Amino acid sequence: MATISHASDPPATTLSSLGVLVLALGALDFGLEQSIVIPALPALAQHYGASLIAVGWLVTGFLLASVVSVPLLGRLGDMYGKRRLLFVSLGTFAAGAFVCAITDSIELAIAGRIVQGIGAAVGPLTYGLARDTVAPERMSRAVGTVVGAATAGGAVGFLLSGLLVDYVSVAAIFWFLFVIAILLTGAIAALVRETPLRARVPIDVAGSVLLALGLMAALLAISKGREWQWSSARTIGLFVAAAALLGVFVAVERRVQSPLVDMALVTRRPLANANVCACLFGFSFFFAVFLVPLIAASPVETGYGLGLETTSIGLILLPTGLASAVGGSVGGRTVERLGPRTVVVAGSAVGGVAYLSLTFAHSTWFALTAGSAMLGFAWGLILTGIYLVTIRGVGKDKTSVAIAVNVVGRNTSSALGTQIAFVVITAAGVAVESGYNRVFVIGAMGAGITLLSAVLLPGRAALRLLNPST
Three-state SS string over 433-457 comes to HHHHHHHHHHHHHHHHHHHHHHCCC
**pLDDT value, residue 377:** 92
**pLDDT value, residue 216:** 76
- Which one is predicted more confidently, 150 or 104? 104
Query: Is residue 263 domain-shared with residue 219, that is, in the same domain?
Result: no
Query: Is residue 151 domain-shared with residue 247, that is, in the same domain?
Result: no
Q: What is the mean pLDDT of the chain?
A: 79
Q: 223, 238, 257: which is the final residue of a domain? A: 257
The DSSP line for 228-297 is H-TTSHHHHHHHHHHHHHHHHHHHHHHHSSS-SS-HHHHHSTTHHHHHHHHHHHHHHHSTHHHHHHHHHH
Residue 127 structural domain: 13-196+258-465
Q: Is residue 8 part of a domain?
A: no
**pLDDT value, residue 431:** 67
Query: Is residue 448 domain-shared with residue 362, that is, in the same domain?
Result: yes
Highest-confidence segment of 105-119, 180-194, 198-212 = 105-119
The DSSP line for 379-404 is HHHHHHHHHHHHHHTS-GGGHHHHHH
Helix (H) or strand (E) holding 417, with range, is helix 399-425
Residue 133: pLDDT above 70? no
Residue 370: pLDDT above 50? yes
Query: Is residue 295 domain-shared with residue 341, that is, in the same domain?
Result: yes
- Which one is predicted more confidently, 218 or 17? 218
Antiparallel, parallel or unpaired: β 197-200 and 3-6: antiparallel
Helix (H) and strand (E) counts in the chain: 19, 2
Residue 444: pLDDT above 90? yes
The predicted model scores a pTM of 0.69
Average pLDDT estimate for 266-286: 83
**pLDDT value, residue 10:** 37
Query: Is residue 192 domain-shared with residue 213, that is, in the same domain?
Result: no
CATH number of the domain encompassing residue 419:
1.20.1250.20
**pLDDT value, residue 470:** 44
Phi-psi region of 10 (alpha: psi -120 to 50; beta: other; left: phi over 0): beta
The CA–CA distances, whole Å, from 178 to 97, 122, 185, 257 equal: 5, 15, 11, 38
Task: Quickly state the pLDDT bin for 466 (edges 50, 70, 90).
Answer: low
**pLDDT value, residue 196:** 65
Q: 241, 257, 273: which is the final residue of a domain? A: 257
Query: Is residue 229 domain-shared with residue 310, that is, in the same domain?
Result: no
CB 156 within 8 A of CB 30: no
Query: Is residue 253 domain-shared with residue 264, that is, in the same domain?
Result: no
Query: Is residue 238 domain-shared with residue 271, that is, in the same domain?
Result: no
Query: Is residue 233 domain-shared with residue 345, that is, in the same domain?
Result: no
The whole-angstrom separation of Cα 291 and Cα 463 is 36
Poorest-pLDDT segment among 103-112, 157-166, 335-344, 439-448: 157-166
Query: Is residue 113 domain-shared with residue 211, that is, in the same domain?
Result: no
Query: Is residue 84 domain-shared with residue 186, that is, in the same domain?
Result: yes
State the total domains in the chain. Answer: 2
Query: Is residue 191 domain-shared with residue 270, that is, in the same domain?
Result: yes
Q: How many CB atoms lie within 10 A of CB 338?
A: 17
Highest-confidence segment of 303-312, 350-359, 422-431, 433-442 = 350-359
Nearest CA to 434 out of 302, 307, 316 is that of 302
